[in-house]
């Protein structure tokens, strides 16, 4: 089924739902999903509308133009997507393979809708996995000295492949502010703690030292402030005194995989709306 998706946010006022629904119905579209949310404190209206465009009277390439007057009347921020478009994805990895593997398998099985166009890493270790899945692997070592050049190489590759979304699958490098701004709300990271607990390095070590009874993982959009971007998804698992630091790390990997995969899935299906430093996830 071919569908169009509108992600909308605007100041809340009367008649917005009617206008959006009329735009679709009057042009012979059938709404499949209509998800709406209002932040009553801030008076903002959010919506995700997905409709069947098989018999829609406006051709795909004209929909945005046709919707614009409505959007302007309500001062909407909006984006239009198509359900059958497969986003072009880059995965950044370091030495740890568990999230990378997991993502590749989910892309291959079709659970994640998108095409992994390239893998970037500052280490050569995971190349065999990329080979197995038939994806080009670019080894771009990074040091303090060459960081800017390395990022330029990366940006060139991303542009060349027309990348829509970047997934940091336990990529242990911090991206520059410039890099992040080029892909605002399109870089997804997995952090191995339930943020805001244990931001930064070695969260499992610190969780172990603190003697917590649960550990977790957090997937978020990357912003220029480390581990403070909008949270997309979090989950946790119980630990006890019986668990060593190695057990924390092992158990954490299971949660990292799942949390990252959920966040990526929602992102690729245009179910995430960012506002301020928070997300609305229309799951």
Can you state the percent helix, strand and coil of the chain, rounding each to 5? Answer: 35, 30, 35
Of 158 and 268, the one with the shorter C-beta distance to a copy of itself is 268
> Rule CB under 8 A: is residue 15 a binding residue for a copy of itself?
yes
CB of 196 to a copy of itself, least distance (A): 5
Cα separation, 6 vs 16, in Å, equals 13
For residue 47, give both structure tokens: 């919506």
CB of 124 to a copy of itself, least distance (A): 17
Contacts of 152 (CB under 8 A, 6+ apart): none
For residue 214, give both structure tokens: 């649960």
Residue 243 a catalytic site member: no
- For the segment 77-116, give every residue that binds a copy of itself (CB under 8 A): 97-98, 101, 105, 109, 111
Number of DSSP helices (H) and strands (E) in the chain, helices first: 8, 13
Q: Which residue from 24, 71, 126, 163 is in contact with a copy of itself, where contact means CB under 8 A?
A: 24
Residue count at the site for a copy of itself (CB under 8 A)?
67
Q: Which residue from 84, 178, 213, 225 is in contact with a copy of itself, where contact means CB under 8 A?
A: 213
Q: CA dihedral defined by 199, 149, 124, 257, rounded to 10 degrees?
A: 30
- Helix, strand or coil, per DSSP, at residue 83: coil
Of the candidates 117, 4, 93, 20, the residue with the CA atom closest to the CA atom of residue 52: 4
Contacts of 90 (CB under 8 A, 6+ apart): 116, 117, 118, 119, 120, 157, 158, 161, 163, 165, 166, 167
Strand partners, 48: 7, 35
Q: Which residue from 36, 70, 173, 185 is in contact with a copy of itself, where contact means CB under 8 A?
A: 36
Cα separation, 257 vs 220, in Å, equals 14
CB of 161 to a copy of itself, least distance (A): 25
Annotated catalytic residue, options 52, 227, 247, 254: 227
- For the segment 239-258, give every residue that binds a copy of itself (CB under 8 A): 240-242, 244-245, 250, 254, 258
Of 2 and 244, the one with the shorter C-beta distance to a copy of itself is 244
For residue 165, give both structure tokens: 């979304």
CB of 274 to a copy of itself, least distance (A): 10
251 burial (CB, 10 Å; 0-12 / 13-18 / 19+) is: middle
- For the segment 152-191, give every residue that binds a copy of itself (CB under 8 A): none
Of 50 and 164, the one with the shorter C-beta distance to a copy of itself is 50
> Rule CB under 8 A: is residue 210 a binding residue for a copy of itself?
yes
Q: Which residue from 10, 32, 155, 157 is in contact with a copy of itself, where contact means CB under 8 A?
A: 32
> Rule CB under 8 A: is residue 8 a binding residue for a copy of itself?
no
> Rule CB under 8 A: is residue 144 a binding residue for a copy of itself?
no
Residue ranges in contact with a copy of itself by CB under 8 A: 12-18, 21-22, 24-26, 28-38, 40-41, 97-98, 101, 105, 109, 111, 132, 194-198, 210-214, 216, 230-236, 238, 240-242, 244-245, 250, 254, 258, 261, 276-281, 283
């Amino acid at each position: 089924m071919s569908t169009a998706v509108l992600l909308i946010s605007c100041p809340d006022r009367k008649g917005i739902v009617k206008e959006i629904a009329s735009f679709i119905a009057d042009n012979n579209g059938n709404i499949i999903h209509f998800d709406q949310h209002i932040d009553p404190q801030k008076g903002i209206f959010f919506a995700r509308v997905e409709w069947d465009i098989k018999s829609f009277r406006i051709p795909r390439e004209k929909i945005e133009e046709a919707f614009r007057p409505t959007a302007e009347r309500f001062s909407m921020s909006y984006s239009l997507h198509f359900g059958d478009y497969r986003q072009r994805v880059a995965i950044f990895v370091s030495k740890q393979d568990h999230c990378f593997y997991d993502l590749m398998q989910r892309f291959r099985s079709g659970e994640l809708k998108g095409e992994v166009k390239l893998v970037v890493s500052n280490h050569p270790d995971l190349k065999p996995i990329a080979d197995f899945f038939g994806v080009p692997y670019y080894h771009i070592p990074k040091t303090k000295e060459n960081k800017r050049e390395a990022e330029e190489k990366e940006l060139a590759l991303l542009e060349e492949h027309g990348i829509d979304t970047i997934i940091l699958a336990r990529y242990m490098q911090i991206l520059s502010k410039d890099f992040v701004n080029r892909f605002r709300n399109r870089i997804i990271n997995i952090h191995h703690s339930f943020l805001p607990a244990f931001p930064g390095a070695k969260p499992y070590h610190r969780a172990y030292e603190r003697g917590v009874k649960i550990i977790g993982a957090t997937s978020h959009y990357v912003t220029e402030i480390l581990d403070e971007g909008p949270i997309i998804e979090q989950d946790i698992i119980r630990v006890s005194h019986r668990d060593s630091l190695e057990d924390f790390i092992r158990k954490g990997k299971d949660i990292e995989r799942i949390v990252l995969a959920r966040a990526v899935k929602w992102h690729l299906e245009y179910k995430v709306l960012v506002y301020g430093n928070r997300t609305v996830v229309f799951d």
